[in-house]
Amino acid sequence: MGFQAPRGTADLLLGQAYALNCMERQAQAVFARYGYDLIETPTFEQLDVFVRGIGEATDVVGKEMFRVFSPAALAKLGEGRALKADEMLALRPEQTAGVARAVVQHNLVPPGATAVKFWYKGSMFRAERPQMGRLREFHQVGAECLGAAEPSADAEVIIMLMRFFEACGIPREAMRLYVNSMGDAACRPAYRDQVRAFIVAHADDLCAECVRRADTNPLRAFDCKASTCQAIMADAPRITDMLCEDCATHYAQVKGLLDDADIAYEENPRLVRGLDYYTRTVFEVQVDAGLGSQNAIGGGGRYDGLLQEFGGKPTPGLGFAVGLERIQLVLRALGTDAAATPALAVYVAATGADTRTAAFSLAQRLRDANLATELDHQGRSLKSQLRQADKSGARLAVIVGSDELATGSVVVRDLTTHEEEKVVLEDVVRAIETRLVDDVQ
Ligand code: HAM
C-alpha cells in the first residue's frame, strides 16, 4: 500500500479547504466588528507552556500531546542525556496558552492598559482516538480578550461567538449554549474538596479513571462518558451552590447581560471544560445534528490566573475556540453546506495549435483584469475543451479561432444559453465584464 495521510488527519479536498477558508473569513469579518486583531503564534511551543497553561492533570496535556524533537535533542536522548526545558517542545493542542505566553513575553497588556483583543486561526494537534468530529490535526478559530475583568467582557465574548456561528449558517435553534461559573481561587478549592470527598464516597460505583483522578483533577469526573459515572455525578455537589459572593455577583451579571441581548442559554452546573486554566464563567455550544458524541462546536471561558503562570502581572482574560471541521459536519447534516470552490468566470478555448499562444495571452489579460479564468494546457480538441468549460462552472467561454483571429476578433459563448457573439479582441475584457455585471443585476 502507498503512503496515506497519518491517522486522524485529513486532506481537505473538493471544496473542503475553501469551506474552511470561508469560515475563517467569516471569523475575520465578525470579530473585526468587536475590535479583534489577528495574531499568529508558533505551531509548537516549549512543552512547559502547555503544562503550566493547560494543566498537567488534564487529558490534553497528560495524554494527547505530540512532542517535537530537533535532531540534536534526539541525539541527546539517544545518549541518555536529559533535555533542557527549551529543548522539550510540543505541537500546540490549543492556542490560548500560546497567546497568553506571547502577551506576557511582549508585555502587551501593561497594568492599567485597555484590554487587548486577539483572534487566531490554525491547526491544533491532539493525539486523541480519532472518530467522527475528533481529529488529531484539526482547525480552530478562536478569540482572546486580555485585561478586562468585568462581566460585560464575558457577555460580549459569548455574543460574538453566537454571531460567528450564525454567520457560518448554523441556525440559532440548532444550537444549545451552556453556561456555568467555575468559581475562583477563593471558592473553588473548597468545592474541589467536596467533589473529591463525593468521589471517594462513591468509589465503589465510579469507574477506575474517575477514582484515580480524585486527587489530581476531581472535576474531570463530570466529563466522564460512562453512563454509571454520569448518573452518580448528577448528584454531586454543584459549584453554583458554593460560589463566593464576588463570583456569584459576576455570574449573575453575565447572565443578566445575555438576557438583555436575547441570547438564549441553559445553565449547566456540571459544565467544567477540560482545561485547568478556567475561572468563573465557562461556556460551551453544542448541537444535535451531525456530530454524534463529539457535539461541542465551540467553547471557552475566563482564565484570570493564566498570565501569572507565565510570569505576568495579574491580568484577567477570557476567550473561546471553535472547531471548524465540526461546523462543517453540522452544516452538512443541516443541508446548508453551501461552500464550494470559487466559481470560474471564463474558460478560454483554442481551436487548434495555431491559436494556443493567442489563447494563452488572452487568459493572462482576463486574469490581470481580476476575472477567474481557466484554459487547457494539454492541446485537447475544441470539443473536449468546451466539454471541460461546461464542467468547470464558468459562465462564459472565449473561443480563439484562426479565422476570427485573422480579423482581430474572438467568439464569446454564453455557456448557459449557448449564444455566441463575435467580439473585437481589444474589447474582449470589457465585453466579458459587462456580461458578468448584467448577470449580477
Ligand atoms: P476546547 O473545548 O478544547 O477549547 O476546543 C474548542 C473546540 O475545538 C471544541 O469545541 C471543538 O469544536 C474543537 N475541537 C477540540 N478538539 C477537537 C478534535 N480533536 N477534533 C476536532 N475538533 C476539536 C479550547 O481549545 C480552548 N483553547 C478554548 C478557549 C479559548 N478557552 C479560552 N480561550
Residues 360-374 have pLDDT tens digits of 999 999 999 999 999
Do 175 and 165 form a contact (C-beta atoms < 8 A)?
yes
Instruction: Give 163 Cα–ligand 1 centroid separation in angstroms.
Output: 18
Q: What pLDDT sits at residue 394?
A: 95
User: Does the pLDDT of residue 30 top 60, yes or no?
Assistant: yes
339 pLDDT band, cuts 50/70/90, is low
Instruction: Give 139 Cα–ligand 1 centroid separation in angstroms.
Output: 9
- What CA–CA distance (Å, rounded) separates 79 from 122? 35
Q: Is residue 170 helix, strand or coil?
A: coil
- Pocket probe for ligand 1: among 117, 124, 140, the residue whose CB has the most ligand atoms within 8 Å is 140
Chain position carrying cell 441553559? 266
- Atom 8 of ligand 1, residue of closest alpha carbon: 323
Copy the grid coordinates of residue 71. Answer: 535532531
3-state helix, strand, coil in the chain (%, to 5): 40, 20, 40
DSSP 40-70: ---SEEEHHHHHHHH-TTSHHHHH-PPEE--
- Atom 9 of ligand 1, residue of closest alpha carbon: 298
At 394-426, the pLDDT tens digits run 999 999 999 999 999 999 999 999 999 999 999
- What CA–CA distance (Å, rounded) separates 146 from 315? 7
Q: Is the CB of 138 under 6 A from ligand 1?
A: yes
User: Does the pLDDT of residue 194 top 80, yes or no?
Assistant: yes
Q: Is the CB of 323 under 6 A from ligand 1?
A: yes
- What CA–CA distance (Å, rounded) separates 300 from 229? 24
User: Does the pLDDT of residue 337 top 80, yes or no?
Assistant: no
Instruction: Give 359 Cα–ligand 1 centroid separation in angstroms.
Output: 49
- What CA–CA distance (Å, rounded) separates 415 from 386? 9
- What CA–CA distance (Å, rounded) separates 146 from 303? 9
Q: What pLDDT sits at residue 343?
A: 81
User: Does the pLDDT of residue 441 top 70, yes or no?
Assistant: no
At 149-186, the pLDDT tens digits run 999 999 999 999 999 999 999 999 999 999 999 999 99
Q: Is the CB of 297 under 6 A from ligand 1?
A: yes
Q: Which domains does the chain have, with CATH numbers?
A: 16-184+263-333 (3.30.930.10), 188-242 (no CATH), 346-436 (3.40.50.800)
439 pLDDT band, cuts 50/70/90, is low
At 127-136, the pLDDT tens digits run 999 999 999 9
| Percent of the chain predicted with pLDDT > 70 | 98
At 290-311, the pLDDT tens digits run 788 889 999 999 999 999 999 9
Q: Is the pTM of this model over 0.85?
A: yes
- Atom 30 of ligand 1, residue of closest alpha carbon: 320
At 208-238, the pLDDT tens digits run 999 998 988 899 899 888 999 999 999 999 9
Residue 279: strand pairing partners? 302
- What CA–CA distance (Å, rounded) separates 334 from 199? 40
At 91-104, the pLDDT tens digits run 999 999 999 999 99
Q: Strand 37-38 and strand 116-125: pairing?
A: parallel
- What CA–CA distance (Å, rounded) separates 40 from 244? 37
Please, what's the largest Cα pairwise distance for the chain? 93
Residue type, 409: S
- Atom 23 of ligand 1, residue of closest alpha carbon: 323
- What CA–CA distance (Å, rounded) separates 424 from 229? 76
Q: Can you tell me the mean pLDDT for 337-349?
A: 80
Chain position carrying cell 484577567? 316
340 pLDDT band, cuts 50/70/90, is low
At 235-290, the pLDDT tens digits run 999 999 999 999 999 999 999 999 999 999 999 999 998 888 999 999 999 999 87
Q: Can you tell me the mean pLDDT for 34-47?
A: 98
Residue 397: strand pairing partners? 347, 413
23 pLDDT band, cuts 50/70/90, is very high
List Cα–Cα distances, 286 to 87, 295, 339, in angstroms: 38, 5, 22
Ligand 1 atom with the shortest distance to the CA of 126: 19
Closest by Cα among 181, 267, 196, 275 to 237? 196
Name the phi and psi angles at 44, rounded to 5: -125, 150
User: Does the pLDDT of residue 440 top 60, yes or no?
Assistant: no
Q: Can you tell me the mean pLDDT for 14-25?
A: 91
**Residues 6 or more apart in contact with residue 271 via CB below 8 angstroms:** 178, 179, 180, 222, 282, 283, 284
Q: Is the CB of 321 under 6 A from ligand 1?
A: yes
Q: Is the CB of 178 under 6 A from ligand 1?
A: no
- What CA–CA distance (Å, rounded) separates 221 from 211? 8
- What CA–CA distance (Å, rounded) separates 441 from 427? 21
Mean pLDDT score of the chain: 94
- Atom 14 of ligand 1, residue of closest alpha carbon: 323
Q: What pLDDT sits at residue 293?
A: 82
Copy the grid coordinates of residue 3. Answer: 503512503
Instruction: Give 106 Cα–ligand 1 centroid separation in angstroms.
Output: 25
- Atom 5 of ligand 1, residue of closest alpha carbon: 321
Q: Is the CB of 326 under 6 A from ligand 1?
A: yes
- Pocket probe for ligand 1: among 36, 49, 59, 138, the residue whose CB has the most ligand atoms within 8 Å is 138
Closest by Cα among 215, 58, 37, 223 to 126? 58
Instruction: Give 92 Cα–ligand 1 centroid separation in angstroms.
Output: 12
- Pocket probe for ligand 1: among 50, 66, 124, 179, the residue whose CB has the most ligand atoms within 8 Å is 124
- What CA–CA distance (Å, rounded) separates 355 from 103? 58
- What CA–CA distance (Å, rounded) separates 350 from 329? 41
